[in-house]
Structures are given as C-alpha cells and as structure tokens.
Amino acid sequence: MTVCIAALAENEKSVVLASDKMISKQMPPIEYEHDVEKIVKMTDNFYVLIAGTVNNAIDIINKAKPQIRENQNPNEKFEKMKKAYADYRDEKIVDEILRSQGFHSLQDFQSRQQSLNQNVANQIQGLIGKANLQTIMTLVAFDNEKCHLKVLIHPGSLVNPIEYATTGSGELHATQSLIGAKYKKSDDLDAATYLVFEAKKRAEVAPGVGLLTEMIVLSKQDDGTIKERRLTEEDLGKLAEVYESVNARDTEKIKAVLVEKEFHL
Amino acid sequence: MLAKQENNQIDFSDGSIVLPEQVDFYLRDKNDYRLVPNIEERLVVPSGLKDAVEKSDLFSEEDKKEFVFE
C-alpha cells in the first residue's frame, strides 16, 4: 500500500499533492520502492493519485485517458473515471473468474443463472461481490472557479472529501497529522505545503509506505491556466529540515518545562 | 423462556432466564481464556474456481483465507 494526500489550499485556488513511491503487488505479493510516479497528469487541469494495487490503477487510467478532454467540467471527468473503474472491474471478473466457467460476460452469467445449480450460482455471485481491485484513486480537477476533489473507491463509487483526501495504508496517520495541525483549505500555500509534507512523513511509520516523496503543487492563475510546481530534492530537503526542527523532541527541555510548571507525579 | 403479560406486568414465574455463562460465544485457549468470538462466516466457492481465485488479485489475502472450496 501507500500514502497519497491531496489538500486544498488558498480557498480552493490551489491544491497540494503528495505521495510515496512504494509499489505493492498482490500477485505475486511484493513491495519495493521505485521511481514511479503515483501522481498522474491526465490533462493540464486534471490529475489522479494512485493508492493500492498500482497495475490496476494504470490500466484504469489508460482506459479512461482517451475519453478525457481538458474542456470537460470536473464532474464529467469524475464520471468517466468512475465508469472506467467499474468497467475494468467487470472485465477482470469475467477474465479471471467467469470465463473459466464458460461465461463470456456478466450479463451472460446473469441470464444463464437459472440453468445453474442454485447453490453454485449463489456461490459465484458471492465471489463476484467480494471481487475488489484494491485500488483507490484520488481525482483532482480544476474548473474556471476552483479545484475539486473526489476519491474513487471500490466498486466504482465517488466519495466527496471536504478539505483534503488521504488514501492508502498511511491514510490514518496522514489524516491525524492534518487534524492535529488544524489544517484548513484557507491555509496559505507555503504553510499548506509544509503541513502536507509533515502528514506524509508521519505516514511513513505505517506498513507499506515508502520513504521517497513526490510532491506537486497546482495553482489556478488569473489567466485561467493551472501552474504546476513540482518540488525538487532541494525543496524537499528544506521541508525535511523544518520537520526535524519542529518535531525535535528534547527530553531535557521538556523535563525543564515540567519542573518549571511544578508538574511532578 | 415463558412469560405472561397482564396489565403491563411480566410474570417470569413459569420460565427461566438463560444466563450468558451457559452460552459459549468464545474460542478459548488452554487456560480457558476467551480469545475471539466463535463465529465463522466463510464463503463457499466452487472447487473448479480454486486455481483462478488463488491466482487472481481481485481478492485480498485475508479474503482468500476465508474461502472454502468445495
């Protein structure tokens, strides 16, 4: 698994995106850090962050990409992605489960269920219900006004995050970090960028979250274009220094303050 | 349990209450320590699909452990 964060900033005029670079595969079960981009640019105003099983996400993106145009509104783009996700899941169910039983589509299975032993039909139906791509995609799209976020989850549903979306096995750690920092979508862009970096660092203790970081900041410009700023190694190094100084735990100093406040058990 | 209800009063005199101790909802270790609720909900899968299911990434490893092939 992974961690992906998309946080609105500057009153939704900007968004800060972050992810790790860990690759996890279900079959064969393997994890490794790789210089792969989990923040995928679909058009100048539409980006997708990938969590979970990456190869499924890449196939869904390749399926949806030819149908996505920059001039579509965010909802149209979200619906195209949703359909691609659901269609891809259906195709995999047919290819990996139903075809071996002599069915060439889900409709074929449904129409011929009556002719099957009812127990077997129910068992296959139960199996289809369990089929999960283990893939979560955060969708980030701009219109003429602002940035919109949605999270695309199993079995092809769109969830509406409020100010930020966190996904992957580091989701809880990143969310707690942003809650603790009282993150708001009205936050200044520099502060927002640091707080998202901090949330990613905190998520690194979760299983399956890699230490490498990719960060992109997108901002709506006055001329309507979207400015993309990809954080460099130097930028990330500076944020890491801030993180170290903010989170340094000097137990001697803590002890001194406790003594000063006369706290003693 | 038998109960009679008259004028909003319940008479338990003809019945007996089953105490929780008489129903074992738990798996226990050798020291009789309660571990997890003894409830299994396993999905039965046609055995002809065993190979396909085991090779597929549509199911988590946790799900696969709960499937019973028969």
* pLDDT tens-place string over residues A219-257: 999 999 999 999 999 999 999 999 999 888 788 888 999
pLDDT at residue B44, as a whole number = 87
> Chain A contact for B61, CB < 8 A?
yes
Instruction: Report DSSP letters for A193-224, one per residue.
Output: HHHHHHHHHHHTTSTT--S--EEEEEEE-TTS
Check pLDDT > 60 for residue A186: yes
pLDDT at residue B1, as a whole number = 40
Check pLDDT > 90 for residue A59: yes
Domain range summary for chain A, segments of one domain joined by +: 4-85+132-260
Q: Considering the entire predicted model, what is its pTM?
A: 0.83
CA of A178: how far to CAs of A21, A172, A201, A243, in Å? Answer: 21, 10, 12, 14
Selected for mutation to probe chain B from A60, A130, A135 (highest B CB count within 10 Å) is: A130
> Chain A contact for B2, CB < 8 A?
no
> Chain B contact for A130, CB < 8 A?
yes
**Is A96 within 8 Å of B46 when comparing Cβ atoms?**
no
Mind listing the pLDDT tens digit for each residue in B27-52? 666 666 666 555 556 788 888 899 99
pLDDT at residue B17, as a whole number = 59
Q: Which of B70, B41, B46 is nearest to A128 (CA)?
A: B46
SS (H, E, C) A125-178: HHHHHHCCCCEEEEEEEECCCCEEEEEEECCCEEECCCCEEEECCCHHHHHHHH
> Chain A contact for B11, CB < 8 A?
no
CATH fourth-level superfamily of A4-85+132-260? Aminohydrolase, N-terminal nucleophile (Ntn) domain (3.60.20.10)
pLDDT at residue A250, as a whole number = 83
